[in-house]
Structure 1
Amino acid sequence: MARTSRSSASGEQACVVRVERPGGLRKAPRQARSVALVAALKETGRKILEEEGREALTVLRVAESAGVAVSSIYEYFPTMDALIAAVFEDYRTESRDALLAGIAALPASATLYDGVLLTLTVGIGVHRKKMLLDPAFNIRSTHYEELVRLDLVKAREVWEAGATPALMARFDSEIRVRDPEMARFLVLHTLLALPRAMVLERPDYLAAPDAPWLLARMVHALLTTEPR
């Protein structure tokens, strides 16, 4: 997935990370007709993935179902991995929006723990869904996302980051930390890294019913433990 090498040029050692980037659009659609075509292709690919499985997702199958020429698909999606990446990105966006709305809609009686548990349940659920649909691609893309988190490659950050400030704003009265910035950093990377570690090392944990509960207790303790 990624590897490092060292160079001694100019007397300094440099770390070079070679990264296999997840598939993406060949080009961005700009005209209304192109935007509609890409949306239709993503919808078709998603339907095939969810109802028939990864093996059924071929360019010919997508072309037949969407009623378009194969060349129209390749114009925007050079591979089926590129189409899967777009479908997974839609999952991420939809889940992020639903999560933020869910945090805001929690009743007045809800606690910080309720919000944290909701966040982890949604996040782990998205990872599990992607793992069921295409485990090989999900593992590759998760490796890449971890390189982004560790600042080894540059890319636009994604939906998980939005939950941390939303939680801290919604349940500000329950948070007991000396350094809110440090707490925000620790919570963010816990929410990002641990579910991804499950994907990469123990995917069976994604289906464990107590996984969100255990992680929620950890994050809740981090935010509510009185400073020494």
Structure 2
Amino acid sequence: MSSRKYHTAPDHLHIEVPARPRKQPRQERSLKLVDALKTAGWEILEKEGREALSLERLSVRAGVAVSSIYEYYPTMESLVVAIFDDFRAEARRRLVEDLQRLPPGTKLFDGILLLLRIGLPMLHKWVQIDRELLVKSSQYDELVRLDVIKPEQYWTSMATDALMERFPDEVLVRDKAKARFMAFHTILALPRAMALMRPEFLIEPDTELLMGRMLYVLLTSA
């Protein structure tokens, strides 16, 4: 009888969902309070690092009582998640605006490189700030991407759509839906894999070119 041992897959996969805010602000006063917390939290994270972000430091820096902080953010992780979400949303907004402002005659490949120059350093920055949270968020986001679980908000292919709309004369693929799908998942999954396993790749100069060539072929191969 063989002594070889086999490892079977677990019946249930347990993924820890990143902490979320307790509630969303509605009134002007609460909006200003939450904005002050996010601003102070970001300043501490960027200048001093994740370990420096404590409830007491945040309270003093933002000028917000501890009880009011708990009302919206039950843990520091929930605040960092909210800051990260805002950071990503701002990067997407900036990308679309920068694509629209490109001068006439700009080529698709230049637009792709612009996308990567915004997105790749953003991920690298968050690896440096809070790698533990990035790992947790990435595990959850990957299940969302693969449609294993349903999120509160669905992914949108904003970057891919913006490229295809800005450079319609160069996107000559026969099946645009397929190209959109493949480019979208390349933009999402490959940088995330680098962030988790080889974060130094995110800021190496040739990474933009290598990924850019991949995306260009996906969007132009007739």
Considering the TM-score relative to the shorter chain, is it more than 0.5? Answer: yes
Query: Quick one: which of 149, 153, 161 aligns to 1:153?
Result: 149
Aligned residues with identical type, % of pairs: 48
> Is it true that 1:101 corresponds to 2:97 in the alignment?
yes
Structure 2 contact 145–155 (Cα < 8 Å) conserved: no
Q: Equivalents in 1 of 2:64, 2:100: separation in Å?
A: 41
- Give the CA deviation at 1:157: 3.1
- Give the CA deviation at 1:225: 2.0
Alignment partner, residue 137 of structure 1: 133
Q: Equivalents in 2 of 1:95, 1:220: separation in Å?
A: 21
Matching residue's letter, 2:50 = R
Alignment partner, residue 61 of structure 1: 57
Alignment partner, residue 87 of structure 1: 83
- Give the CA deviation at 1:92: 0.5
Give SS of 2:205's match. coil
Give SS of 1:30's match. coil
What does 1:196-215 correspond to in 2, within 5 Å? 196-215=192-211
- Give the CA deviation at 1:17: 3.7
Query: Quick one: which of 30, 33, 42 aligns to 1:46?
Result: 42
Structure 1 contact 17–152 (Cα < 8 Å) conserved: no
Q: Equivalents in 2 of 1:170, 1:94: separation in Å?
A: 19
TM-score if structure 2 supplies the norm length? 0.92
How many positions carry a matched residue from both structures? Answer: 213
> Is it true that 1:183 corresponds to 2:175 in the alignment?
no
Structure 2 contact 172–220 (Cα < 8 Å) conserved: yes
- Give the CA deviation at 1:87: 0.8
Alignment partner, residue 36 of structure 1: 32
Q: Equivalents in 1 of 2:78, 2:86: separation in Å?
A: 13
- Give the CA deviation at 1:158: 4.4
- Give the CA deviation at 1:35: 1.4
Alignment partner, residue 5 of structure 2: none
Matching residue's letter, 1:83 = L
- Give the CA deviation at 1:67: 1.4
Matching residue's letter, 1:157 = Y
> Is it true that 1:162 corresponds to 2:166 in the alignment?
no
Matching residue's letter, 2:164 = M
Larger RCO, structure (CA 8 Å, separation 6 or more):
2
Give SS of 1:206's match. helix
Q: Which has the higher strand share?
A: 1
Runs in 1 of length 4+ with deviation above 6 angstroms? none
Instruction: Give the superposed CA RMSD.
Output: 1.3
- Give the CA deviation at 1:152: 1.3
Structure 2 contact 113–209 (Cα < 8 Å) conserved: yes
Q: Equivalents in 1 of 2:14, 2:76: separation in Å?
A: 22
Note the residue ranges of structure 1 that are not aligned, 5 or more in a row: 7-15
Matching residue's letter, 1:131 = V
